[in-house]
Amino acid sequence: MDDDTACCAIITEPARGIARETHDRMPLVLDNDSLEAWLAPDLVERGAIRAAVHHLAAEA
């Protein structure tokens, strides 16, 4: 891949709350404090990842 090529990925998780009425999966949206841990190449254990990252809090 060229360094000039932009790309992205949409990571999904099981749907929560009202989203379950529409589909069984939903995009995973992390809060800003989780981004560094999410992108850390040495963080590979599933339990450690789940402990280090947090969903973006839903607005009431």
Q: Position 8: which residue type?
A: C
pLDDT at 60: 42
pLDDT at 1: 54
pLDDT at 24: 96
Instruction: Supply 25's token pair.
Output: 């999966």
Q: How far apart are CA 5 and CA 40, in angstroms?
A: 21
Does the predicted model carry a pTM greater than 0.85? no
Q: Cα 14 to chain center, whole Å? A: 11
Average pLDDT per 10 consecutive residues for the chain, totaling 60 residues: 76 89 92 88 90 72
